[in-house]
Structure 1
Amino acid sequence: MPSHRRMLIAVVAGAVLGALANALGGGAPWLDVAVRDVAQPIGQLFIRLLFMLVVPLLFSALVLGVADLELRHLGRLGARMLGYTAAVSSIAVLIGVTLVNVLGPGRGLPDAVREAARGAATIKPAPLPGGDSVAGFVLALVPDNPVKAAATGDLMGLIVFALLFGVALAVTDTPGARTLKAALQGLYDVSMKLIEGVLRLAPLGVGALLFVMAARLGAAVVRPIAAYVGVVVLGLALHQFVVYSLSVKLFGGMSPRAFFSGVRLAMVTAFSTASSSATLPTALRVAEENLRLPRHVARFVLTAGSAMNQNGSALFEGVTVLFLAQVYGVELSLGQQAIAVGIAVLAGIGTAGVPAASMPFIAMILGVLGIPVEGIGLVLGVDRFLDMCRTTVNVTGDLAAAVFVARGEPAEATEPAAGVPPAP
Structure 2
Amino acid sequence: MTATARRPWPMPWKMGLGFGLGLVLGLLVHLTAGADAAWVQAFTNWVTTPASRLFLNLIFMLIVPLLFSALVMGIAEMGDIRALGRIGWKTLAYTVVLSSIAVLLGLVLVNLLEPGAGVDPALAQQLLVQNADRSREIVASVDSQPRGMDMLLSIVPSNVVDAASSNASILALMFFAVMFGVGMVMTADAKVATLKRGIEGIFEISMTLIGLVIRLAPYAVFCFMFNLAAIFGFDLLLRLGAYVGVVVLALALHMFGTYSIAVRMVGRSPLKFFRDIQEAAVMAFSTASSNATLPTALRVADQMGLPQKVSRFVLTVGATANQNGTALFEGVTVIFLAQFFGVDLTLGQQFMVMLVCILGGIGTAGVPSGSLPVVALICAMVGVDPIGIGLILGVNHFLDMCRTTLNVSGDLTLATLVAHREMDDVPGEKPVAAPV
Q: Are the structure 2 counterparts of residues 227 and 87 from structure 1 closer, same or farther at C-alpha, using a change threshold of 3 Å?
A: same
Q: Are the structure 2 counterparts of residues 227 and 110 from structure 1 closer, same or farther at C-alpha, using a change threshold of 3 Å?
A: closer
Question: Are residue 239 (structure 1) and residue 268 (structure 2) matched?
Answer: no
Question: Are residue 106 (structure 1) and residue 95 (structure 2) matched?
Answer: no
CA contact (8 A) 1:314 1:348 kept: yes
Query: Where does residue 180 of structure 1 map in the other structure?
Result: 158
- Take 1:305 and 1:293, find their aligned partners in 2: how far apart are those partners? 15
Report the Cα offset of residue 330 of structure 1: 0.8
- Take 2:250 and 2:418, find their aligned partners in 1: how far apart are those partners? 25
- Take 1:398 and 1:82, find their aligned partners in 2: how far apart are those partners? 12
Show the 5 A alignment for 1:14-25: none
Question: Are residue 82 (structure 1) and residue 92 (structure 2) matched?
Answer: yes
Report the Cα offset of residue 188 of structure 1: 3.4
Worse-matched range after superposition: 74-83 or 181-190: 181-190
Query: Where does residue 219 of structure 2 map in the other structure?
Result: none
Report the Cα offset of residue 235 of structure 1: 0.3
Query: Where does residue 209 of structure 2 map in the other structure?
Result: none
Partner-residue secondary structure (3-state), 1:401: helix
- Take 2:405 and 2:120, find their aligned partners in 1: how far apart are those partners? 36
Gaps of 5+ in 2: 1-22, 37-67, 171-234, 431-436
Q: Are the structure 2 counterparts of residues 152 and 316 from structure 1 closer, same or farther at C-alpha, using a change threshold of 3 Å?
A: closer
- Take 1:101 and 1:79, find their aligned partners in 2: how far apart are those partners? 33
- Take 1:110 and 1:263, find their aligned partners in 2: how far apart are those partners? 39
- Matched residue type, 1:371: V
Query: Where does residue 395 of structure 1 map in the other structure?
Result: 408
Aligned residues: 293
Report the Cα offset of residue 381 of structure 1: 0.4
Q: Residue 162 of structure 1 is aligned with which of 131, 151, 158? A: 151
Partner-residue secondary structure (3-state), 2:116: coil
Q: Residue 393 of structure 2 is aligned with which of 358, 371, 380? A: 380
Q: Are the structure 2 counterparts of residues 243 and 295 from structure 1 closer, same or farther at C-alpha, using a change threshold of 3 Å?
A: same
Q: Residue 280 of structure 2 is aligned with which of 255, 266, 269? A: 266
- Take 1:114 and 1:189, find their aligned partners in 2: how far apart are those partners? 32
- Take 2:321 and 2:273, find their aligned partners in 1: how far apart are those partners? 21
- Take 1:244 and 1:282, find their aligned partners in 2: how far apart are those partners? 19
Query: Where does residue 354 of structure 2 map in the other structure?
Result: 341
Partner-residue secondary structure (3-state), 2:166: helix
Show the 5 A alignment for 1:43-62: none
- Take 1:356 and 1:189, find their aligned partners in 2: how far apart are those partners? 12
CA contact (8 A) 1:105 1:224 kept: no
Show the 5 A alignment for 1:345-360: 345-360=358-373
- Matched residue type, 1:259: F
- Deviation digits for residues 266-318 of structure 1 (CA, Å, limit 9, x no counterpart): 111111111111111111111111x2110110100000000110000110111
- Deviation digits for residues 210-243 of structure 1 (CA, Å, limit 9, x no counterpart): xxxxxxxxx9x99772100000000000000000
- Take 1:275 and 1:152, find their aligned partners in 2: how far apart are those partners? 21
Question: Are residue 294 (structure 1) and residue 304 (structure 2) matched?
Answer: no
Partner-residue secondary structure (3-state), 1:381: helix
Report the Cα offset of residue 160 of structure 1: 5.3
CA contact (8 A) 1:356 1:384 kept: yes
Q: Once superposed, what is the RMSD of the aligned Cα atoms? A: 3.9
Partner-residue secondary structure (3-state), 1:356: coil
- Take 1:403 and 1:389, find their aligned partners in 2: how far apart are those partners? 21
Query: Where does residue 322 of structure 1 map in the other structure?
Result: 335
Partner-residue secondary structure (3-state), 1:242: helix
Partner-residue secondary structure (3-state), 1:106: helix
Query: Where does residue 282 of structure 1 map in the other structure?
Result: 296
Query: Where does residue 101 of structure 2 map in the other structure?
Result: 91
